[in-house]
Structure 1
């Protein structure tokens, strides 16, 4: 059963949780989440809700894994689990993260910085934080809450507008969230702080910055290099081509499986 198939009996109420407004879907598994064991190569994608989480998740998943079949067959919420979510009888986000077969593991969170499990800091993990301007973030959050029964009732726009300004939102105040992550960046060089608006303005430029942070040097070889058939001729010597062809014949036994090396 997936998270999408869970029927929520009624909208949850906001509760004060260690000084931050939350709902039980993100607090009921608190101890297990706080004991999550991060690995040094884990990458945490952190955002305030509706600030570009899914977009950043897709970008990172494509950069690291990029297989076409993976994109089609594995939904993004399985490729990049939501660490703090807990919707019994579904597998919790924490359990999903534990069971990820990929390396690095890509994990997302909406936690304010003080709620991030300590192992991410202890393991010196890389963290991508995406921030979105408050006005657009508020509008997106409003429409998300209208359709998502796992969120508190948003009320009308005027009511939601006031609640957002007062910080009475799941995961707390937008102001606290973006400011505290920004401050944490000053003491933690493994945080890459991105802006949603910069990504919209020039996606390629921001991906280049992201890749520099992740130590992917696209100046050596770009992510999308050529994509041409026959470029092998610019690398193989005649002798290498002949040696490869002999070896290929021995290993490719099925005569019906044919590849074209030129078009």
Structure 2
């Protein structure tokens, strides 16, 4: 009998068809996760990385794809063609993602890749498999100011037809403040990695710094990865990872995800990539309410966030 051809990532999503819908959230150790993740939690928690693996961790919509592309280009000497070898989700597997068959899970993808691997996660620090820290893996964490992160996540949840229905903006804002979105509280997420950054050798980056001076931040990542690339290569990487370049790159802009999953006619995956877009969404009353709640939730954290640059 002829061996069945392996499906591409997008073909597997197409084949999953009617199994794709907005999945409910189930709590794992107090953190709301999509039901497929929650129902497959034991093997995710038991994952044993190789010491050479690199973890890229973020709260959703904080600059994850941007950082993935920078890292991939740094590891391949700025070779744009090599970094177009496959979509982002194939090059850098999403550790905890579990979807209906035949879509491969993150663990399935990782099992077929030889170390060193680059691995993406949105898990808060306390849910990251302990093997990453036991094996002293390097980890890059990217944090984005709360207001812009909230706006970006809202538009993402509108177009991502596997996450819970976001509902109206005002209600979503309150869900964000209460930590009732997939992957939980933004506040706990950014604080968790911040508190552990020195002990665990985590490179903690800020989205706003990356926008303000991308070359400086690309060089910081390069040094953290113990790489040394020429000025020309660094300049090329900065150009290739500009918002416009990535929005036009089919291997990075998630257009490879079919419309039944990511409906980019509702909102593009690469929407604006700006700092301060929150001013177009928050009413003065909402902004004041949010700021007061932010002050309460972040009072013990001295994390230098900027909502404008």
Confirm or deny a common fold (TM above 0.5): yes
Identify the TM-score tier after normalising by the shorter chain: 0.7 to 0.9
> Which residue of the partner structure matches residue 138 of structure 2?
126
Distance between the aligned counterparts of 1:226 and 1:161, measured in 2?
38
Q: What's the CA shift for 1:26?
A: 2.1
Structure 1 runs of 4+ aligned residues shifted over 6 Å read none
Name the CA shift for 1:225/1:79 in 2 (closer, same or farther; >3 Å): closer
> Which residue of the partner structure matches residue 88 of structure 1?
100
SS at match of 2:197: helix
Distance between the aligned counterparts of 1:128 and 1:76, measured in 2?
17
Q: How does 1:9-28 map to 2 (within 5 A)?
A: 9-28=20-39
Distance between the aligned counterparts of 1:59 and 1:225, measured in 2?
10
Query: Are the aligned partners of 1:128 and 1:194 in contact in 2 as well (CA < 8 Å)?
Result: yes
Deviation digits for residues 153-185 of structure 1 (CA, Å, limit 9, x no counterpart):
100001101100111110000000000110011
Deviation digits for residues 85-112 of structure 1 (CA, Å, limit 9, x no counterpart):
01131221012122224x5211100000
Query: Are the aligned partners of 1:28 and 1:86 in contact in 2 as well (CA < 8 Å)?
Result: no
Distance between the aligned counterparts of 2:205 and 2:235, measured in 1?
28
SS at match of 2:183: coil
Name the CA shift for 1:4/1:196 in 2 (closer, same or farther; >3 Å): farther
SS at match of 1:21: strand
What is the TM-score normalised by the length of structure 2? 0.68
Verify: 1:98 aligned to 2:111, yes or no. Answer: yes
Q: Of 106, 116, 121, which aligns to 1:109? A: 121
Q: Structure 1: where are the runs of 5+ without partners? A: 228-263
Distance between the aligned counterparts of 2:139 and 2:234, measured in 1?
27
Number of residue pairs matched? 223
Q: Of 48, 56, 73, which aligns to 1:37? A: 48
Verify: 1:207 aligned to 2:212, yes or no. Answer: no
> Which residue of the partner structure matches residue 232 of structure 1?
none
> Which residue of the partner structure matches residue 172 of structure 1?
184
Query: Are the aligned partners of 2:25 and 2:33 in contact in 1 as well (CA < 8 Å)?
Result: yes
SS at match of 1:128: strand
Q: Structure 2: where are the runs of 5+ without partners? A: 1-6, 237-309
SS at match of 2:93: coil
> Which residue of the partner structure matches residue 148 of structure 2?
136
> Which residue of the partner structure matches residue 238 of structure 1?
none
Query: Are the aligned partners of 1:83 and 1:93 in contact in 2 as well (CA < 8 Å)?
Result: yes
Name the CA shift for 1:223/1:119 in 2 (closer, same or farther; >3 Å): farther
Distance between the aligned counterparts of 2:235 and 2:149, measured in 1?
37
Q: Of 160, 164, 178, which aligns to 1:152? A: 164
Query: Are the aligned partners of 2:215 and 2:235 in contact in 1 as well (CA < 8 Å)?
Result: no
Deviation digits for residues 104-158 of structure 1 (CA, Å, limit 9, x no counterpart):
2111000000111111111100000000000000000000000111100100001
Q: What's the CA shift for 1:4?
A: 4.2
Q: Of 202, 206, 212, which aligns to 1:195? A: 206
Deviation digits for residues 182-213 of structure 1 (CA, Å, limit 9, x no counterpart):
00113212x00000000000100001111121
User: Alignment RMSD, CA only?
Assistant: 1.9
